[in-house]
Structure 1
Amino acid sequence: MRNNVIELKNFSIGLPKQMKYATNKEITTGICKQTVEEAFLTKDGFRGDGVADLRNHGGSDRAVCLYPYEHYLFWEKEFNRTLSPSTFGENLTVTNMLEGSVNLGDVYLLGEAVVQVSQGRVPCSTITKRTGHPLLLKMMIKTGFTGYLFRVLEEGVVRKDSKFTLLEPSTKQVSILYANEVYFHKTKDIEGIQRVLDVPELAQEWQEFLEKRLHKLITH
């Protein structure tokens, strides 16, 4: 899988704005992104991109969000409807980068920038509000089809036709799918938690969260 050519299907950014959902309800969110030709990627994310909920989104460990293109076909079949580009609020929608074949710590060249996989994405209720499917959030967590996040090692311009190539695979070989399984489902799997924590490039928030969980399991 990792030898296949990665194709950037959609490249989107957007600043937080009001989004209507349900019956006359509104929230401020950065999930509604627009397709762009190019943008400069800084350590904190793309210029012209942003999040509303700074506690749960954004920051240097969560500078870029990716969602695998193949999942669109799965969800479209599941819900019997067509999904618009960047439905999940991701910056990058790409082929051949499924959660099971991408590892924490993998380093990629993205246009002129260099990025590193830092954590799985923890989906939030805004996704269900945007799509109008109350089961979507639970199903993303159940399947592990969450997408994932990157930190930026080197800043640079990214274009919609930029090459996306693996520069340096992680030596630890802990996939996003495995990390998601431990994070969401195998909450008492001491060995699994330790395996994820052994990846030095793991995002700080996930490190702290899993260390607390491990401490509770060991001391109780």
Structure 2
Amino acid sequence: MERKLLTLNIGRPNLHVWKGRTENSTIAKKGIEEVLLTKNGFKGDYVANREFHGGPERAVCLYPYEHYWQWEQEFNQTFRMPAFGENICAENMLEEDVYIGDTFTLGDAVIQVSQGRIPCSTISKHNHVDSLLGRIVETGYTGYFFRVLQEGIVTTSSKLTLIDRQQEKFSVLRGNQLMFHDRKNREAIEEFLEVKELAEVWRGKFLKTLESLK
């Protein structure tokens, strides 16, 4: 599996006025030609809302290109990259085809899929589509995060190349299904927790879910 980057983006927090309210967000990222990827993310890429973004296990956010086409057809409007606040966008990297723990080279860096993305309302606000967030959660087309195993330079000509796959039972999409729609499936959750590459924040959420099911 080798995929070219379609965009490479970083951003700083900015004030946005959505429906009369002023909010601080980094969703409006800008393209960049070359950047250093560190354990905590791309140099110069900042986080405004640490509940949903940032930290070593959410260092890189990818959004699959194919979803752009779907949302454009569904909502009859253009979504210009990076409409979903992603750092990188690529084709043929769908949630159903990428597994927790998948390890890729990206330029000089090495990154590993850690969790699906838990989207927030900023996505709807930024794109001026109230129902977008709900549809993203409903479909599981959230995009996903990577941790950085090896720091390095990434450029717009860098490729994502799969170098290791630890398991093929829990794709990002299946993990999203458990997170958003199947939180009473004790057996599947227990299996999911056996995936050692799963991000700790997700592990904690599912452990709490198991406690509540007792």
Smaller-chain TM-score range? over 0.9
TM value normalised by structure 1: 0.95
1:89 aligns with 2:89: no
Name the amino acid aligned to 1:7.
K
> Partners of 1:13 and 1:210 in 2: how far apart?
30
1:80 aligns with 2:80: no
TM value normalised by structure 2: 0.97
Name the amino acid aligned to 2:177.
E
**Structure 1 residues 40-71: Cα deviation after superposition (integer angstroms, max 9, x where no partner):** 00000000101101233100110000000000
1:69 corresponds to: 65
Q: 1:17 aligns with which of 14, 17, 23?
A: 14
> Partners of 1:68 and 1:171 in 2: how far apart?
21
Name the amino acid aligned to 2:11.
G
> 1:130-169 counterparts in 2 under 5 A?
130-169=126-165
Q: CA deviation at 1:166?
A: 0.1
1:108 aligns with 2:104: yes
Q: CA deviation at 1:172?
A: 5.0
- Give identity over the alignment, percent: 46
Shifted more, 170-179 versus 95-104: the winner is: 170-179
SS in 2 for 1:7: strand
Q: Which runs of 5+ in 2 are unaligned?
A: none
- C-alpha RMSD over aligned residues: 1.0
1:99 corresponds to: 95
Q: CA deviation at 1:17?
A: 1.0
Q: 2:205 aligns with which of 186, 206, 209?
A: 209
